[in-house]
Amino acid sequence: MTSCPALFISAPSSGSGKTSITAAIARSQARRGRRVRVFKTGPDFLDPGILARASGQPVYQLDLFMGGFEHCQALLAQGARDADLVLVEGVMGLFDGDPSSADLAAAFGLPVVCVIDASAMAQTFAALATGLANYRPGLRHCGVIANRIGGVAHGRMLGDGLPANLPLIAALPRNPALALPERHLGLVQALEQPGLDAQLDAWADAWVAALRPGFTFKAVPFETPAQPPLAPHLRGRRIAIARDAAFGFLYEANLDLLRALGAELRFFSPLRHEPLPEAEAVWLPGGYPELHADTLSAHPTLPAALARHLDAGRPLLAECGGMLALLDELVDADGKTHRMAGLMPGTARLQPRLAALGLQAIDWPEGPLRGHSYHYSSLETPLAPAAIATNPNGGSTAEALYQRGSLRASYLHHYFPSNPEAIAAFFHGHGN
């Protein structure tokens, strides 16, 4: 059992400022020399990049469906052992989704604070805050954060309306200059924001100035589950992994699992036209190939190298954007057609509206896996699906898994810890 101060940052809805507040707290604490570990609720790739820059530590996703209770418990316990403060950012509104942020906070007894956009509120702020605090018995609400207030008097009025057991922790003024840039999948990736560190420092300054006297982080006990060690099934296997602005959707837990299985990870950047490393397996993760299609299609050696890799019967996993990069064609949001690697028959088209969103469960030949889907493109391919995913919440998103020789491709972002044995078998090449 490990005890560590912790805070769960949620909100009534998306867009309230959870990420900026969480990043501000993390950066302000890190600047004081405190070790901060931040976690993100649910399957999100973009917010964790911002939070990792703010804290100076890798950020892991916590999802009770994708990873399960014991996996999330182990991640939190490890983080608590290495930290002076644990922060968990929620997803959407506090009670939205299944599993929800509230489910996660309740499962681990985390103190909850809600960030409320107060820019168009007066006394209703207190009604909303108390409603969130009382809606589900058993949650440990420790206060409220008012975001985007109009001034000192506005902040004072908001605080005066709250009950004594739900204090106003901080009231941050509206400042459009501190807003983060966004695109069709969410925030612009941290590695694409050259001014991010200065912005994080400005957020931290704003947090320190807005924090009310007397607030302290509450200690939480974190229990470490008993987990058998993984067998090194991938010892001696090299896995080449694309990683840059076009292929940036990588779960830290996936990378950790591959290393724990004994694999040597060899990263390369297709955008910088780096060659494919010598490897027994390849992983092309998701990202934004549609924003870099001209550069990717001009790579002088990668398509041929991947073709030789597949001809040799070696495993290649292509997820979402990684799959788009292997197609015959990719039509971007402006209607321009780009020739891609031509290793998977088909065409993908970007569209202005969301095409798919949801948690997913799918049966690989090696065993069941879990993950999620989130994309704005649609795919036309003559390939018949090898499997079709299901949505645990009954949503319409049900992604196909395509298999062609040793190529495994899907819109799914797979969460490898959901079945380590299946992942080990695929990347080792069993059955290919």
Active-site residue set = 320
Contact between 402 and 409 (Cβ < 8 Å)? yes
Cα dihedral across residues 161, 106, 89, 57: positive or negative = positive
132 is written with which tokens? 């969130």
The residue written with tokens 């949801």 in the block is 358
Q: How far is CA 82 from CA 21, 70, 227, in A?
A: 22, 18, 19
| Coil, helix or strand at residue 8 | strand
Q: Which two tokens stand for residue 90?
A: 């929620």
Q: How far apart are CA 312 and CA 307, in angstroms?
A: 9
Q: What is the rounded CA–CA span in Å between residue 260 and residue 267?
A: 17
40: left (phi over 0), alpha (psi -120 to 50) or beta: beta
Burial of 112 (0-12, 13-18, 19+ CB in 10 A): buried
Q: Rounded to 10 degrees, what is the CA torsion of 337, 342, 343, 349?
A: 10
Report the alpha-carbon distance of residue 9 to residue 5 in Å, rounded.
13
Could you identify the residue written with the tokens 């820059």? 53
Query: Which residue type, as a one-letter code, is found at position 58?
Result: P
Name the strands in the sheet holding 407-410, side by side, starting at the edge strand that comes first in the sequence: 264-268, 238-242, 281-284, 316-319, 407-410, 400-404, 387-388
